[in-house]
Structure 1
């Protein structure tokens, strides 16, 4: 980072610190997301924000090879106790946290001690891919859905690995065994209906506080509703630039966590909460724009796509087996990716088909911005910065190749047949990832190898675990 940029950031941070102090904000949480999909943090007093903006905050690069259970592996380029990095907050994203009085939040970019970008910084990777898209004259707009399960105050979300005592334990006798239909009440009767108004009524105060918090944080909520699984909810926010979409994915999740705790509730963002249940997704929506025009409509490609949009989506679809190691990075994700559960288990695309891994949505004629594509295989264990950057890289490779989409699939591929499954395990996905020249070039060797090392180590960590142990060890970690 150049000295002039640091000085400018320091000046802006002084102004922001004065504003925060006036609002009784005493600390700023600075977050990044590691390759296991966990949001890590360093925090500074508000009075230190200007110093932090100029000089950064230290952290070890070893976090790039941490696993979901806080153990660590190593990689060809990153590993061991040596070295140091500097975290620099993005002050443009600085947000006062409505659910955590006295605190603000900002995402960070990571640099080395000499001011050079850290080659494994996932957020800067997402920015590089966004800038690469701009060279094609393309402005991607993206947004993540966030699904989570509300757990009663006595519910248990184990944090241990498969070898720990917690991983194999069920709920304590008399405790809330799983998702609560009403706050704090163990389930002793059938759960409320999926997508049912009863679920909104039961937690209406909680959901109202969520909406209030997002409004205070100037996060535009498009919709919020009960989902399929017991205690499960989903929220969608307005699309943004790719880096902004990933930042919002972090902010949305931590806001939900904060509001939940203030209501005496806990949350499960893991890909699966119960091993045989319907899991949580983090579906990624994307559209492509140029000069104010949505390239996903008013073209002569399939269902009104422009040819450029078709080639981009064909690139994503073609690279999807390798992308699975990025967007479904945990063994738990492959418990979620099952046929006939709207999770996108088959390697296909379709028009408004919720069983297809890549779903195309034309939007209504009255809504020119509504046409978009949805990647359904993304789950909450995914690092959102890696996800957006890797999807852009795959899409641009499709444009370079002049790729075309195969015919769309109608109906449930598990019933109609003829479509291949996407990888059914993390090990299988990792094999495709390690063979992907597109992702290796886009990520760069240090980040690519670190991601692969973490995937390999987590596959080994859970190799002998039962589905119940995998669910218990991961549902409360993200």
Structure 2
């Protein structure tokens, strides 16, 4: 995908709602905005609003409110227990000295800037939520606010970032839902929805209505789709949307997955975003693209470094490459992640970087001549969709900023299959 400057997706209202604090004036402002939003939603036959967050296991958890309660939710939040900080992917609950547990409560505050009716779920709207304490302060375990803090840290040094995730999934007929979820008999393959060759037109023909409806739903929700195509594994597809600020990019990745799941259900399909659905097959990645900017200039292009990198751009990438062994704990957090993270699958299994090298964990993309000023970016290929996208995004930004602070240097480029 090209990390180009694009307008924000059209949420219902426009000013930043980033700061959540105990302030009567701010609560009143949010309530007033929510009243307008609720009236607009009601006029569009929306009945309920989903307010969601991603937990540390990478699972989307939600609370829903009727539209008539949106004003109160925007001003005061919705109750959400802190125990979700230590929920596991199978819904069992672990323990932590520092966070989570059965005691206490948090408030989940919908971000009205990203409030959008769900095109594939008539009668529903969605907004990402920020988790705050009952005193109104940011909850330290709020991953979305972590990404925002890293963006603020970049801004303090004069930098801005553009980013986006690729979303890959495998679709299976609903009758094979268990197998689509990875519950397979020995040697059994999931019953997938396509039979044609990888990246082939046959798959588009067989799933023409399905893919069309995904495009329509994403467009109706204000997301700019760059491309949608069949992938390598049978029944596998990928969609990329335009780059945004890092928080917005993680929000959009979550919204894309909700949309794909809802459209799939309407077509009698179940989907899996798991790193690997069938052992031995090519899995689903969650590749992260990002570019570093300063004063409106893309620092991944126009410099004297290798392939046009500027000094800050190279140091930023060097910080990411240095931190890769730690970053995979966040960006590839499940056991299934390591069934995917193997050589010769373009999964980024090697700690190296290279220009357009799809086997390297960090792939530098200059873009085509004529659009490099806007399109040059780096792709972190070793991540997958088991990750919390906010944690993954924030961790990569932190590693890159550390590289800039240290003046880190990139190791020699890997120009061949590693």
Q: Distance in 2 between matches of 1:34 and 1:320?
A: 22
Find 1:112's aligned residue among 117, 127, 133. Answer: 133
Find 1:180's aligned residue among 179, 193, 202. Answer: 193
Structure 1 SS opposite 2:83? helix
CA contact (8 A) 2:179 2:191 kept: no
1:52-92, CA deviations, whole angstroms, 9 ceiling, x for partnerless residues? 11111001000000001000111121232111000000000
1:396 and 2:409 correspond: no
Structure 2 SS opposite 1:157? helix
CA contact (8 A) 1:156 1:171 kept: no
- Tell me how far 1:236 sits from its aligned partner: 0.3
1:212-236, CA deviations, whole angstroms, 9 ceiling, x for partnerless residues? 1111111000000000001100000
1:128 and 2:141 correspond: no
1:342-421 aligned at under 5 Å gives the runs: 342-367=346-371, 368-413=373-418
CA contact (8 A) 2:147 2:390 kept: yes
Change in Cα spacing, 1:274 to 1:159, as seen in structure 2 (3 Å) is closer
Hey, what does 1:229 align to over in structure 2?
Answer: 233
- Tell me how far 1:363 sits from its aligned partner: 1.2
Find 1:80's aligned residue among 101, 115, 124. Answer: 101
Q: Distance in 2 between matches of 1:400 and 1:369?
A: 24
TM score, norm. by length of structure 2:
0.92
Structure 1 SS opposite 2:163? strand
Cα root mean square deviation, aligned: 1.5
Hey, what does 2:311 align to over in structure 1?
Answer: 307
1:13 and 2:26 correspond: no
Q: Distance in 1 between matches of 2:376 and 2:55?
A: 32
Q: Distance in 1 between matches of 2:267 and 2:177?
A: 16
Structure 1 SS opposite 2:301? coil
Structure 1 SS opposite 2:239? strand
Higher relative contact order (CA 8 A, sep 6+): 1
Hey, what does 1:238 align to over in structure 2?
Answer: 242
- Tell me how far 1:256 sits from its aligned partner: 0.3
Hey, what does 1:324 align to over in structure 2?
Answer: 328
Q: Distance in 2 between matches of 1:316 and 1:80?
A: 33
1:194-214, CA deviations, whole angstroms, 9 ceiling, x for partnerless residues? 000100110010000011111
User: Where does structure 1 lack aligned partners over 5 or more consecutive residues?
Assistant: 161-165, 182-190, 414-478
Q: Distance in 1 between matches of 2:93 and 2:246?
A: 29
Find 1:28's aligned residue among 23, 44, 49. Answer: 49
Q: Distance in 2 between matches of 1:347 and 1:384?
A: 21
Hey, what does 1:341 align to over in structure 2?
Answer: 345
Structure 2 SS opposite 1:394? helix
Q: Distance in 2 between matches of 1:282 and 1:93?
A: 22
Q: Distance in 2 between matches of 1:57 and 1:407?
A: 50
1:227-246, CA deviations, whole angstroms, 9 ceiling, x for partnerless residues? 00011000000000000000
Q: Distance in 2 between matches of 1:305 and 1:390?
A: 22
CA contact (8 A) 1:155 1:171 kept: no
Change in Cα spacing, 1:83 to 1:159, as seen in structure 2 (3 Å) is farther
CA contact (8 A) 2:364 2:377 kept: yes
User: Where does structure 2 lack aligned partners over 5 or more consecutive residues?
Assistant: 1-20
Q: Distance in 2 between matches of 1:194 and 1:6?
A: 52
Q: Distance in 2 between matches of 1:302 and 1:9?
A: 47
Structure 2 SS opposite 1:309? helix
Hey, what does 1:422 align to over in structure 2?
Answer: none
**Structure 1 runs of 4+ with >3 Å offset:** 157-160, 166-172
| Aligned pairs, number | 396
1:324-373, CA deviations, whole angstroms, 9 ceiling, x for partnerless residues? 00000101000000101100001100010000000001112211211000
- Tell me how far 1:170 sits from its aligned partner: 6.1
TM score, norm. by length of structure 1:
0.81
Hey, what does 1:297 align to over in structure 2?
Answer: 301
1:55 and 2:60 correspond: no
